[in-house]
Structure 1
Amino acid sequence: MEAYFAVDRLRGLAQDHSVPGAQLTIRRAGETLSVTTGVRRAGSTTPVTADTAFALGSVTKVFTATVIAQLVAEGDLEWDEPVADYLAEFDGAVDGRMSAVTLRHLLSHTAGLVADHELDDAGASSLARYTASVTTTRTLHAPGHCFSYSNTGYNVLGRVIEATADMKWQAVMENSLLRPLGIDPVFPGGGTAAGLRAVADGHAVRPGRERAAHPVGLHLPAGWAPAGGLAGSADDLVALATLHLGTRPGADTLLPAAERAEMSAAAPAADAFGMADGWGLGLAHYASPVGPWLGHDGTADGASAHLRFHPATGTAVALTANATTGTRLWADLVDALREHGVPVGDHRPAASTAPAVTTGLDRFAGDYRNGDTRFAVRAHREGTALRLTDATGLTADLTLHGDLAFTARRTDTDTAPYTGRFVTDPATGDVTLIQLGGRSARRTTAA
């Protein structure tokens, strides 16, 4: 791809979406193109450079998963051993199903842990305390049953890393992975290397209003560093991608081929409905005409990050942006890259084509819960439709289809509809879960 095209297109898309600053790095056919645009903070003149660090959000999970794979390669951990074998905190968990949770379950988001567990003490950051608190919660489903995206599970993986290496997660991350990749660490939530690089400020943008970008602070819940506590550049993300592709010098030493293959293979139960086309051990799968791409997306307060790499060709693409509209910039960028011969994989959920269901809807009515998130589903329009509400004031009408997928349309805005689905127990046929945005909520009561 021509450098002038990449610069002009990135600058134009950033302006279109009111993104103050962004980085784009493309590795293709053995050559790397790295371009930047804009400023670190709206209203300033300090430019984004290739070294500027952006909050990576959930792309941090790929780094955490890679360190777990390194420990597996060293013989300190095993993919399919119960996590309870490594963590004393799992002794006496209130839910007996936690004893069956393995590293593979946590890495592939099939463990059944709640999505977003937080400590009551906002100032605490101990992963040991965090994990002990997790064991007081109930699982959503039996481990290995289905996919439910979980920040909680990755924070527990961070505790596994600490317990195994006898060092803080940040120290292991820096010494085992970041420094060997040539990455200067930045831990926005705190850590020994915090502040050594310039960090872009996050910004909130309200599309359709004044379209101005307003700086916002970064909030990372206590104990969440392994799930979302890194900052870095698009160049850093491509460096990680070359490790997984095996094209980086010394890749086999840093992450052996067997562990790379294990991470990239799709987990059978991890269908990732609504988020991706599949999931491996820390890596999402994105379909494309040229075969699957691997990677991850991440959002943080006022920032987004996106990583894709294609094992068949060795191509890697990474974008960082310092605004909430960075996800929209990414979607437009994917379209532009495809037009110019880089068919990046990206998941865009489509509405079900199965016939609509308008009878027997009481079977799906009830209360559903994932941690502190609660949904109520009730029959609506004299039993011919369903309505979903939650404690935040969300109200959405659901159109159910024969494959148990549904289209949800909010009643208070004109935003585009989104998709979800109900999940049944294969043995009984009873409705047990509702899935929205890649997360599952367990049915607690029938209406």
Structure 2
Amino acid sequence: MEARHLASRLEELTHAHAVPGAQLSVHTGTETVDAVAGTECCDGTRAVDPRSAFAYGSVTKVFAATLVLQLVSDGDLDLDRPVSDVLAEFREPADARLASVTARQLLSHTSGLVADHELDETDERSLFRYAKSVAELPLLDRPGNSFSYSNTGYNILGRVVEEVTGLKWRDALQDFLLRPLGVDPYVDHSPDGPARPLTTGHAVRPGQREARPVDQFLPPTWTPAGGLSGSARDLVVLARLHIGTDPKVAALLEDEQRVEMRTPVPGADAFGMADAWALGLGHYGSADNRWLGHDGTVDGGTAHLRFHPGSGLAVALTTNATTGSSLWPDVVEELRTLGIDVGDHRPGVPAPHPAASGAGTGTGPQETERLVGDYANGDTVFSVRRHHDGIRLSDRTGLVADVTLNDGLNFTARRVDTDAAPYVGRFVLDGGTGEIALLQLAGRSAMRVRAAV
């Protein structure tokens, strides 16, 4: 693969999407080719290089899951035993079902935990106090019953690691995985991080091209779910561990656990987010071209990781702008022209329901009455309300979107303030009553808490 051509195309694509800086690392099975573009900050003072550290966001979860599977491989943790066997904080929870949650369910987002629990003290660093706070929350659903993406669950896994190893999360991750693997990402943005430049995140408003620097603050108790920052090449090194071609694989992760980690979990239907879900890894692409990996989004940056165990191919992209999420599909298409058929999940937009009426909303009066109401996932509350002849979806962050209902209670939600591609979601029925029970959007489930009046 020609590195110069790859860098040239990356430069063109970052400019097209108003991304100040990016890294692309591609392992062809025999060599790793790096391409960089742009600058670490929009002020243009420092060019991106292969060691520049970008915020990984949720790609951090692949490192966290790998560490958990290392403990399983060593016999220190059982995936299918309740984590309350390890965590005293979970032995008498407010919701009794929480005591039965397993590490497998936490890893596969089937635990029933809310998505984004935060402590009132944003600078709190104790995962013990975080776990005690989570134990006071109600579950969205019974453990193992449905998929709902949960940062909370991965923060709890960080606490499990602490209790099993006797080390703080940061130290356990560095001692068991990062140093032996030969990578040195920031575990958080603390001053004692590695001696490498840390990029600045940027926000780009919909329809505009100006990149504005933003703070990439993450609560310290969220570090296991999204606190790492490193390079695209570091991600490729991790991918090669899972492929089995990294020289250190025999010492770090048994074949049995590598296979277990990428095996789809029954019931982990990551609707609209991936084609299947395993233990810390999403499945992307068709059945005959299935890639593994994860995506990450933070305030001001994105990261994407894909690898194909059969061919040994691996691809990683890091960016320092919110528009990196729209850059990624273009990078995938460019790589496909070069013969690297990267698997990616592209949720289709189905045809509107035959009963569509009014303003393209796709909802008739009877459907509207079934769906309107409030749907909650922790502090996140989606409101579904009548709007003209159809329905509109909103939340407290400023999201306002017109909903088009499709067959099977699937829907698309198109924001009213941007021309961006619509979100894909669905309403889910309660198996016992046949009533609407959940709203699923962007991989997260929200439980219906009341009907609208």
TM-score, reference length from structure 2? 0.94
Mapped partners of 1:386, 1:44: distance in 2: 45
Runs of 4+ in 1 over 4 A off after TM superposition: none
1:107 corresponds to which residue?
107
2:56 corresponds to which residue?
56
Mapped partners of 1:378, 1:324: distance in 2: 29
Mapped partners of 1:218, 1:326: distance in 2: 15
1:83 corresponds to which residue?
83
Q: CA deviation at 1:18?
A: 1.9
The question of 1:219 aligning with 2:217 is answered yes
1:332 corresponds to which residue?
330
1:236 corresponds to which residue?
234
CA contact (8 A) 2:124 2:219 kept: no
Q: Which moved more, 1:141-150 or 1:346-355?
A: 346-355
**SS in structure 2 opposite 1:419?**
strand
Mapped partners of 1:428, 1:51: distance in 2: 55
- Written as runs of structure 1 = structure 2, the 5 A alignment for 1:41-440 is 41-190=41-190, 193-209=192-208, 211-288=209-286, 290-353=288-351, 355-357=353-355, 358-361=364-367, 362-381=369-388, 385-440=390-445
CA contact (8 A) 2:185 2:231 kept: no
Mapped partners of 1:393, 1:328: distance in 2: 21
Identity, in percent, stands at 54
2:359 corresponds to which residue?
none
**SS in structure 2 opposite 1:10?**
helix
**SS in structure 2 opposite 1:296?**
strand
Mapped partners of 2:193, 2:430: distance in 1: 46
Mapped partners of 1:48, 1:411: distance in 2: 35
CA contact (8 A) 1:55 1:188 kept: no
Q: How many residues align?
A: 443
Mapped partners of 1:371, 1:189: distance in 2: 27
Return closer, same or farther for 1:414/1:319 CA change in 2, 3 Å cut-off: closer
2:37 corresponds to which residue?
37
2:360 corresponds to which residue?
none
Mapped partners of 1:172, 1:227: distance in 2: 15
CA deviation digits over 1:106-135, x for unaligned, max 9?
101111111000000112111111111111
**SS in structure 2 opposite 1:403?**
helix
**SS in structure 2 opposite 1:306?**
strand
**AA paired with 1:295?**
G
Mapped partners of 1:389, 1:233: distance in 2: 36
Q: Which moved more, 1:310-319 or 1:416-425?
A: 416-425
Q: Which moved more, 1:253-262 or 1:401-410?
A: 401-410
TM-score, reference length from structure 1? 0.95
Mapped partners of 2:387, 2:19: distance in 1: 41
**AA paired with 2:341?**
P
CA deviation digits over 1:276-327, x for unaligned, max 9?
1111000011014742100001112211111000011110001111111111
CA contact (8 A) 1:55 1:230 kept: yes
Q: CA deviation at 1:353?
A: 3.9
CA contact (8 A) 1:174 1:185 kept: no
Q: CA deviation at 1:96?
A: 1.2
Return closer, same or farther for 1:414/1:203 CA change in 2, 3 Å cut-off: closer
Mapped partners of 2:394, 2:202: distance in 1: 29
**AA paired with 2:21?**
G
RMSD of aligned Cα (Å): 1.7
CA deviation digits over 1:55-74, x for unaligned, max 9?
11110000000000000000
CA contact (8 A) 1:288 1:344 kept: no
Q: CA deviation at 1:207?
A: 4.6
**AA paired with 1:373?**
T
Mapped partners of 2:263, 2:319: distance in 1: 29
Mapped partners of 1:46, 1:199: distance in 2: 11
CA contact (8 A) 1:356 1:399 kept: no
User: What stretches of structure 2 of length at least 5 have no aligned partner?
Assistant: 356-363
Mapped partners of 1:393, 1:330: distance in 2: 25
CA deviation digits over 1:53-93, x for unaligned, max 9?
11111100000000000000001101111111111111221
Q: CA deviation at 1:379?
A: 4.1
CA deviation digits over 1:213-254, x for unaligned, max 9?
222221102410000111111110000000000111131220
**SS in structure 2 opposite 1:223?**
helix
Return closer, same or farther for 1:183/1:393 CA change in 2, 3 Å cut-off: closer
CA contact (8 A) 1:56 1:305 kept: yes
CA deviation digits over 1:152-171, x for unaligned, max 9?
00000000001110111110
Mapped partners of 1:44, 1:401: distance in 2: 46
**AA paired with 1:391?**
R
Q: CA deviation at 1:187?
A: 2.3
Mapped partners of 2:169, 2:162: distance in 1: 5
CA contact (8 A) 1:94 1:136 kept: yes
**SS in structure 1 opposite 2:408?**
coil
CA contact (8 A) 2:243 2:309 kept: yes
**SS in structure 1 opposite 2:414?**
strand
